[in-house]
Structure 1
Amino acid sequence: MTHPGGPHGSPPPGPAGPGWGGAWAPPPQPPQPGVIPLRPLALSDILNGTFSAFGRYWKPLLGTAVLAYGAALLVTGAAVAIGIWANQDTFHAAEAADRANDDAALASELIALAVGFGVVAVVGMVCMLLATAVTQAASPAVLQEAVLGRPATFGVVWRRAVNRAPAVIGVLLIPWLVGFLMVALLMTGYVALMLSVVEHQGGGLANVLAGVGLITGLLLMPVAIWLWTLFSLAPAVAVFESASPMRALRRSARLVKGSWWRIFGITLLVYAMAMVAGSIIQVPFSFLGMFSMIPSFGLTTQADESTAVVQVFLSVGGYVLITLLGSFVSQIITTFFPQLSTGLLYVDQRIRRENLAPALAEAAHLPPPPPYQQPPQHPQHPQH
């Protein structure tokens, strides 16, 4: 069909209106009540949302990490102090047995010390596990408010993270156990290989352990990576949906199915960026720690011995404190940034698979965005 005054297929003459020529209106932008637009997210959306969420909610995140790890360190330190106090007699008995060259008595006392401090080590591991679970649960707890643009106080985030920490521990057990088994096999193979090649000890058994440990560990590595990605959304499911560990694992597997490589690539990129950023952050703290050691270098031979000892102690103590502070700040970055990105990947997968955007817009009291249609994964071919 042609229209007077214009070429074939052009709009009719007259004033331009919506839908004609240069007056085509751009598609409406999706609502963005919080840190992400309510549509399927691109990589740039996930990275921007991660930085925005951390920038807006760093206070409850930092407060949760400080309280969780601070409590873990206090309990662990108390356990160490109790262990030392309770084993004072064992220390003295072991020292006396060593001076008397009584190997049997010395072995017995050393076993008692190993058992006692083994309990202390278990207490420390449990405390750090709980602290890690609380910080892992804090990121989805923050994102529940960040996606909708609502404020989140420390008290709200802390209570939510503590309540969901047991479920987060449950969903992390399988990836952690597989990773621990892989590392244990690789270390066993490496130690056996060093004994066989370098120390010439162990004989055939060392060769067998080296081969089995290294080969089995390397074969288990792809399985560990696959499971790590398959269950990567489980902590977010456990917090967002208040799901049990098994339900969170199954839900994560369903959400990741069909998007494994995309989720793996984005998660790996974010972890790499966080590790690089954490390393860069530690550099100025290392320099400050080195400067704190300068007073001890200027000690003169005329200085009083007690004064010199105090100066050295203060310098070394300052270096340790500054270095620990840098490590803590670096740990905050490498902990929260990947977890925030993973939480946004969870939201993205639900928008793509379950059209979650209208429900989020309704919760934020905004008009709903147009529904997202999942593209067909297996296009139909015409039959001949």
Structure 2
Amino acid sequence: MGYGGPEGWGAGWWAPPPPPPPKPGVIPLAPLGLEAVFGGVFATLRRYAKPLFGSALAAYAALTVLLAGLVALAYASVKDQLDAIYVPDAHVEWDDVRPILTAFGVVWAVGGLAALAVSAFVQASCAATLREAVLGRRTTVRAVARHALSRTPAVLGVMLLMALIVLVPMALIFAGGIAFFFGVMATGSGPALAIVPVFLLLPLTMPLAIWLYVLFGFAPAAAVLESAGPVTAMRRSARLVRGAWWRIFGITLLGALMVLVASLVVQMPLMFAAPAAAPYSPADPSPTLSDVLPHMGAYLVLSMLVNLLVQLLTAVFLPLITTLLYVDQRIRKEGLATSLAAAAARPPSA
């Protein structure tokens, strides 16, 4: 008699397992699990460190120099006013404060716009680098920067639209709460009852902002990898995220927590290295801001460098996770793996 075993345990049970999916680059060309996503991120950081960090470091270094120059110019223009209000028990007038607010307000506005543009460029450079990393192709800082610069306006448009979409509902919710606050106060019901709905609206704003952030989180990657405009990229993101919001949110949250822990590990020694304040003696003249800044100079430079390192890590790590999740969703929903395998088999264009 034959020894076939139970049903389903015949010849088919001894069939060899299917071959693994192709892996020309940092990820297998198949639906990605959690390990494959973070493995792809760390492999990209390791193998493509030069183009990835080179373009980002150049952008943030330029931003740091710009901000330092703006702050120096602002300080030089209002040095006398700053020294005047820094003196203890000084009589401060509006004419002393107004130039300071104007000068540093301009620095804040220009620096904010420059930081937004740099963030858009870094996100575009991450997507451009990961495109080559998935295909297993070499690339250079110049090639990544060139492609990223061409798509930075689209990514910047996405960021502005996302900010508008997120902020408008939150502003409306707060406006409704404030209107209710003043309405209740006008009736004489008391401030305690009036302020309750304002606090009740706070838990509604954060979930809404997080939901919108995840829903449109793939838009920068679509703007770079599909050469899509801002509106088209946001539509593509919403279509790809649909049905997988919780999975994308969970992986993104885990990546954010990893960045937070790494940032704390880097910044904690700096907190303990802060110089102690000079002892105060009533007999000594009160120090001015010009006297304090040289004493803090080395610490301020070190703090700026550490913050630049943390900013660089945050700006690169999270977009890589988002872009890999974008690739994963396209593999799952659109069969992108076949196109990627064919593209990896072709020689790169000159």
TM-score class normalised by the smaller sequence? 0.7 to 0.9
Contact 1:168 1:245 in 2 (8 A): yes
Contact 1:236 1:346 in 2 (8 A): yes
TM-score, length of structure 2 as denominator length: 0.77
Q: Which of 45, 55, 58 in structure 2 is aligned with 1:64?
A: 55
Go from structure 1 to structure 2 and tell me whether the alpha carbon gap of 1:356 and 1:180 turns closer, same or farther (over 3 Å shift): same
Gaps of 5+ in 2: 182-187, 279-291
Contact 2:121 2:148 in 1 (8 A): yes
Contact 1:185 1:214 in 2 (8 A): no
Larger Rg: 1
Provide the residue aligned with 1:124 in structure 2. Answer: 111
Matched, 1:337 2:317: yes
Go from structure 1 to structure 2 and tell me whether the alpha carbon gap of 1:363 and 1:5 turns closer, same or farther (over 3 Å shift): same
Cα drift, residue 178 of structure 1:
5.5
Cα drift, residue 88 of structure 1:
7.0
Contact 2:57 2:312 in 1 (8 A): no
Provide the residue aligned with 2:216 in structure 1. Answer: 231
Q: How do residues 210-225 of structure 1 correspond to structure 2 at under 5 angstroms?
A: 210-211=195-196, 213-225=198-210
Go from structure 1 to structure 2 and tell me whether the alpha carbon gap of 1:47 and 1:220 turns closer, same or farther (over 3 Å shift): same
Cα drift, residue 313 of structure 1:
8.4
Choose between structure 1 and 2 for higher RCO, CA contacts under 8 A separated by at least 6 residues: 2
Go from structure 1 to structure 2 and tell me whether the alpha carbon gap of 1:76 and 1:314 turns closer, same or farther (over 3 Å shift): closer
Contact 2:166 2:212 in 1 (8 A): no
Contact 1:279 1:330 in 2 (8 A): no
Q: Which of 151, 156, 160 in structure 1 is aligned with 2:147?
A: 160
Go from structure 1 to structure 2 and tell me whether the alpha carbon gap of 1:150 and 1:183 turns closer, same or farther (over 3 Å shift): farther
Cα drift, residue 171 of structure 1:
1.3
Provide the residue aligned with 2:2 in structure 1. Answer: 5
Provide the residue aligned with 1:265 in structure 2. Answer: 250
Residue identity (%): 42
Provide the residue aligned with 1:279 in structure 2. Answer: 264
In the alignment, the residues of structure 2 paired with residue 26 and residue 316 of structure 1 have an alpha-carbon distance, to the nearest angstrom, of 64
Contact 1:234 1:252 in 2 (8 A): yes
CA offsets 1:200-254 (integer angstroms, 9 cap, x no match): xxx9897688445433333222211110110011111111111111000000000
Matched, 1:51 2:42: yes
Provide the residue aligned with 2:326 in structure 1. Answer: 346
Q: How do residues 83-232 of structure 1 correspond to structure 2 at under 5 angstroms?
A: 83-85=74-76, 91=81, 106-107=93-94, 110-177=97-164, 182=170, 210-211=195-196, 213-232=198-217
Gaps of 5+ in 1: 12-18, 194-202, 298-311, 367-384
Cα drift, residue 273 of structure 1:
1.5
TM-score, length of structure 1 as denominator length: 0.71
CA offsets 1:155-207 (integer angstroms, 9 cap, x no match): 11112222222211221224434655659988xx99xx9xxxxxxxxx98976
Structure 1 window deviating more from structure 2 (146-155 vs 165-174): it is: 165-174
Contact 2:124 2:221 in 1 (8 A): yes
Cα drift, residue 53 of structure 1:
0.7
Q: How do residues 346-365 of structure 1 correspond to structure 2 at under 5 angstroms?
A: 346-365=326-345
Provide the residue aligned with 1:376 in structure 2. Answer: none
